[in-house]
Amino acid sequence: MYGNDVKEQYNLMSNFYNVLYAEVGVKAYEDEFINQYKEILDELQTSSKVLDSSCGNGVKATALKRKGIDVVGTDISEEMIRLTEEYAENNNLGFPTKKLPWQQLPFHFTEEFDIVFCCGNSISHSLSRTEMLTNIKSLYKVTKKGGKIVIDTRNWDKVLNENIRFNTSNIIEYNDKRYMFTYIWNLNGFNNISNVEILFVEIIDGKETKCIPLKLDFMPFTHNDFILILKECGLKVLKDNFHIESDNYSVILEK
Ligand SMILES: C[S@@+](CC[C@H](N)C(=O)[O-])C[C@H]1O[C@@H](n2cnc3c(N)ncnc32)[C@H](O)[C@@H]1O
């Protein structure tokens, strides 16, 4: 099965994942997400169903539920599912969740979703071109005819062109603790497995520090090839905000 290593990586990362959201604040992420996809969300009927297929810490699925949308959250990592449930509960909201990799979605759902989201650069965890095709075909299978799939990704054309090795955060306050983290990018060209090592530093009482090393595998791909894959899956590109200078882009697709 695809994704086992990535699943374990996110299980470990889940302890610190919310720290990454703390600088901007979760509510700002919710609002930004809803505003970005307002047009397609406004077209939904009361009977419509939406899937967040890599729901992570649950901020996006919860934002959908807050709008009264019938949402299901799935993710390959049981620990990320736990974060989703925790975030929804802390907001007095609830919706069905299930630990499922993309590949297994068609074994659990029919063509029942009006919109399927795959956001937050999740699709880059497809570790080969073949795996990406299989993953997107699975999203396709659970989407209604005429329904939409939304995928966003880092702009790997820009990342590989700039080839920056290290990024370090500011000091971030989260749950009465202080953290900082450094990303070490180990890039290996397009369509090859690469990884980012993330060194999380927990600052204890302003004196001691604890360093927690984490790693995430991913596969960079060109925008051109990504569009070819989407078309190979039978999807029509309705919107594509790719720009060579922007850090991320998203595509809205129709089945
Ligand atoms: C960077 S996080 C993004 C989470 C969330 N969508 C967001 O926007 O914040 C990537 C998520 O994709 C999930 N993921 C990675 N590979 C997956 C797969 N094969 N099937 C389903 N989820 C996967 C990870 O467990 C993780 O929660």
* The total number of residues written for the chain in this structure: 255
Q: How far apart are CA 114 and CA 40, in angstroms?
A: 10
Q: How far apart are CA 211 and CA 91, in angstroms?
A: 31
Tell me the DSSP string of 3-49.
Answer: THHHHHHHHHHHHHHHHHHHTT-HHHHHHHHHHHTHHHHHT--TT-E
Tens digit of pLDDT at every position of the chain (255 positions): 678 899 999 999 998 999 988 887 889 999 999 999 999 999 999 999 999 999 999 999 999 999 999 999 999 999 999 999 999 999 999 999 999 999 999 999 999 999 999 999 999 999 999 999 999 999 999 999 999 999 999 999 999 999 999 999 999 999 888 999 999 999 999 999 999 999 999 998 767 899 999 999 999 999 999 999 999 999 999 999 999 999 999 999 999
Q: Is the CB of 119 within 6 Å of ligand 1? A: yes
Give the pLDDT confidence score for residue 176 in this predicted structure.
85
Residue 235: what residue type?
L
How buried is 210 (Cβ within 10 angstroms: 0-12 exposed, 13-18 middle, 19+ buried)?
Answer: exposed
Model confidence pLDDT, tens digit, residues 148-207? 999 999 999 999 999 999 999 999 999 888 999 999 999 999 999 999 999 999 998 767
Ligand 1 atom closest to Cα of residue 77: 25
**Pocket probe mutation, ligand 1, options 9, 19, 27, 54, max atoms within 8 Å of Cβ:** 54
Ligand 1 atom closest to Cα of residue 33: 8
Residue 137 main-chain phi, psi, to 5 deg: -60, -35
How buried is 42 (Cβ within 10 angstroms: 0-12 exposed, 13-18 middle, 19+ buried)?
Answer: exposed
Angle at 156 between CA 155 and CA 158, to 5 degrees: 75
Q: Is the CB of 76 within 6 Å of ligand 1? A: yes
Angle at 80 between CA 106 and CA 215, to 5 degrees: 105
**Pocket probe mutation, ligand 1, options 34, 122, 150, 218, max atoms within 8 Å of Cβ:** 122
Give the pLDDT confidence score for residue 116 in this predicted structure.
98
Residue 237 backbone class (left: φ over 0; alpha: ψ -120 to 50; beta: rest): beta
* Whole-model pTM over 0.95: yes
Neighbours of 20 (CB within 10 A): 17
Strand, coil or helix: what is 230? helix
What separation in Å is there between the alpha carbon of 27 and the centre of ligand 1? Answer: 19
For the domain spanning 4-155+220-254, the CATH number is: 3.40.50.150
**Pocket probe mutation, ligand 1, options 8, 20, 72, 125, max atoms within 8 Å of Cβ:** 125
Give the pLDDT confidence score for residue 32 in this predicted structure.
97
* Residues facing 70 on adjacent strands: 49
**Where along the chain do its domains lie?**
4-155+220-254, 158-218
Give the pLDDT confidence score for residue 207 in this predicted structure.
78
